[in-house]
Structure 1
Amino acid sequence: MQGRMFDHIQSLEKSRTNWRIKARLTRFWPTFSPETSTIKGYNLILLDDDNTHVHAYAYPDNWRAIGKEVAEGKIYTVENFQVRDTIGKLRPVSTKLCIRLLSSTIIECVEDDALIPNHKFEFMDMGDLLEECNRLTENQNPEFAYDVIGVVEHFKHVTRKQTRYGERDQTRFMFSDGRLKFSVTLWGDFASSVNQTYTAELQKPVIGILTSAKLSTFRQENQIGALPSTKIYFNLDIDPVTEFRERLIEEGYKSPPDTDESSSEPAPRAVIERTSFKELIENSLSFVLKRTVVVKFVINKIEEEDSWWFNSCVSCHSEVEKVDKKFKCAECKRNFGYCEKRFRIVVLADDTTLVTNVILLDRVVKRMGATTVANILNLMKKDSSVTAESAVFKSIVGKEVTALLQLSDANVNGDSNLYNVVDLCDSSMFETAIIQSTPAQATNSFSVDVDSPIVGIELFQTPGSSESVAKKIKMDFHVHAFVIPEALDDLNIPIYEGSMYIVENFVTRRAMGTLRPVTSDMCIILNETSIVTNIPLEIGRFPRYKFEITQLGDIYSIARNLAPDEEPLYALDIVGIIIDVGDTAIEATTSGMRQSVRFNLYDGRNTIRVVLLDEKVSLLGHILDGDYQLEPIVILTSMRPHFRNGVLQVSSTEATKVYVNIYYHAVWQIRRR
């Protein structure tokens, strides 16, 4: 009789609403709007006596109508609700259906029921997690979030960190199964609450469970991140935790000591060593952990004169393939309407110990030849007598250079003696800081952050100096920088777009958050010690603009793959012709009255709806006034893709700018169409 009183979660289907279930509330969390920080809904994970759980949600007005306060761990009866298909990515549980609570839903707390488990987890083995990290491309989210069990190592108690959103609490630790390790970083109130529950009294080794976690890879390190649905348990009294601890003990596992990061200094980086081609070839395996080295050599000749440049992805700079008038990047898994042209020249190099082939990559050739591939190709079109030999080869052959080599797996394994030359060491200060390779010398020598993912930052410092470090960003790469409020007055210099500056003494941090304005993995923080100096323009060496254009036809798939409450990792740069411009209007939104203008953007193939909000409306002033003789082709930067009432559109963000009829290859391509 008791079994007929309640429906089983496993029996739910979409044909009716008069369901009645009895379940334990295992997790409860609100969902916030990323734009207004208002609550968009409430989420519950309900678990019944059949050990089946389901995700339930309620919109704020329905939750208010239900009028019930709930607590995790208690038993509730839930009556009269809808059953729907689950949608989106990173779902908290693997059931294909979810519950939508209605204003007529009745929730009642009842006495505890020992037949209903306290928890249910869908654990994924860390070995399978590693495969998932390798399988998922950047910005791609899996269908479900992950539940993971592991031992907590190197727990670093909460510290305050400066972020683009202001100061936030941060807690970090390593998560391991005794064989594989993942880094975990938590932020905000969640970091603080986890920090309070992780105490010295916890039995060692501390076994943790992370529910609804998200995977990512940063600087070749596998990481587990938190979602709004994530919860962390330490030493939970359940069989999987007991079995996990027993396995670790049987295998002889020893817990490493926890370290508090609050007062510690960053770990020293590996020293970049000067070596020779002979040493690289004869002792290649000794460079397994030293993938960046310095070699001084003379360039004897160009080996492949007919293959000196390639088409490059505008985002990751890998080689792209042209397919159906688009450039396809296998690394980014994206298509672009245009590409960059970059140098890649194979030369014969002699360092007096051996003669071997090396590849001079784009930055190296640009610095030696003071030109670009695009410039040379344009000269060839205008003057048939111009050749690659006359334009760039003659400035390379015979030169002695001190260069940074990036070693590949094939180099280290002894399978290849072809080395990539990624940069030049053209500063005597930099060169003297790089030492001959001996372990004893490496202990007290100058170290270079060779792991920095901002390619093209060169670092200058005298050995043993306690002075601040100056970094100069070179061509072709852009990075997001921001100034903390306390530093604004100390900079004491006006900043103008398009001008050139030397920026010294700053902090680099991992880029965080969503809708990032550029795809660099790192960002720059200017503080009270930073120095910004205006310098004359170096026209021809530094591009005036860099955009990472997303084709309008690709935006739908980007937005469609996002969960309902999820923002994309990066904002989008788009290009096209403005058509169907509406009137400027004042409209009521969840964040108050806002000015807006709506129009369509057309690139010759696809059209998308665009909305500019508030002060961004004024960016269209000259276009609305009809001040352009040529049909205006615009580039809109840092736009946010989303669906509004089922219609795809892109909206402006704080970082949005409008560029009209500028001298840029993406604009030329639109006009040629």
Structure 2
Amino acid sequence: MWRPKLIGSTDQFGGLQCILVDQKTDAIQASVKEIDYDFVAPKIKAGSIYEITHFHTGRNKPSHKIVPHVAQLFFNARTTFKELPTIQPHIPRHRFYLVDYTQLSTRIDKIDILRDVFGHITAIQPLEQKMVGNERLEDKCEVCIENIRKEDVRISLWGNTAKTFDSQALQQSTSPIFAAFTSLKVKQFQGKIVLNSSVSTLIFINPDIQELAAYKTIFNDSTHAVKMMPSSTAQLMTPQHLEAAKKLSVQELNVLDPETHKDTPILCRAAITRFDTRNGWWYKACPSCFKQLRTAAHRDELLCPKHNNQIPLPWFKVSLVLEDSTDETNAIIIGRPAEQLFKISCNELVVQRGFTDQQQLPDVILQTRGQVKIFQLRFGSMRSDFNRNDLLIQAIFDDTMPLIEPTPQSSDKSLAAHDAENIGAQMVPPITPLLSKQIPSASSTSSADASITEVTPISKKRYRDAVKRALYLSSIKKTKKHFFKSCSNQNRI
């Protein structure tokens, strides 16, 4: 039994899933919707035998199957479970559909059915946070296993599966450890096969299955502890290492070779001084993979190539300029790191507060200008239009250097000039935006908190010019953007 978490969510679940096994060792998947979870979950527990009535059946899903059965069961609040004593013939506790390591190459990127593997755990890479698809941070750890022929394969555990995997307990054990990993996706990375966990992946340590006896015979003399692999160099900096780590200036950042430093975490102390809204500050994303949805050909629908039609999810993608006393550079912040910086979700801004104009920045984003932070960055893909790599912000840390209150006269100076006069000073305070426009939400159930910031009478011309410089408005032709099509009458958001 498992309760899968929705991808990209920390507190939303997708009901309850179960694998049922009968006396003939046939297995079938049973599903419970989230709305029925509280009714069904208390009635059943893994390992017990039940007579089950009042359920319905349906055809098994066409992709990402857990077991190779044509049908699937569905339980709800009216389903009854009568627990039975142990019966004969004995019903096995587990039913895995194990694939031989040599057959994994034939399953690369095939998603009709997820795969189970069994092996001897040889090494573990500890839990860390990784950027996924330039859009979100995700917990990750890696496990190396080998079969009785000493062939090995690497398994990447993600999200809640990684967080709940007790690597410390396994490291302290000197006995050989065997494990079955279920519901894995077969991928290829840098020419090697890598198995990735799914929301349905479960891990069984030393399960009572037929294969275990053969493995114990082969590895009976193996008393070595599980090896701990070093952490990835691209993981997020921990607070313990942040203070001692070298922070590059923006000038040093601009001359780095992206190919040499593509796997190296980069720290830079700087401030956001401008935003570029020509490509918008949010986009309509797939709620499963966070890729941008595209309009389907000859259809008025938004489509994700991997997950078919989707209800759009507003997702941050903000282009900005970082500056310090040495230089300035362009960077992009996407998804979760943007939520960390702006202290609000994109969905709340767009849907609940009604900031649907993709070229008009809300106050909550504008107010981050001038705040000195330590940015952890990495190089992204090459952009053909500029023949340079994107610079992606992975995380933001508060600057711990002492602050000096800026004077009102410094409000229009560049960071370079300000730092030249005030060594170690905080960046100038952000300029209050001329107008933060709120557009009423497309949904009749959403409310917009209308608030317009008043302009002070001091030097209005200088004020307007500063705002234009900050937002590139002098070179941007405003275009009318529409919110999710037919959002109001279809309740899609």
Give TM-score scaled by structure 1 length.
0.38
Rg comparison, structure with higher value: 1
Pick 1 or 2: higher relative contact order, CA cutoff 8 A, min separation 6. 2
TM score, norm. by length of structure 2: 0.50
Q: Whose strand fraction is larger, Structure 1's or Structure 2's?
A: 1
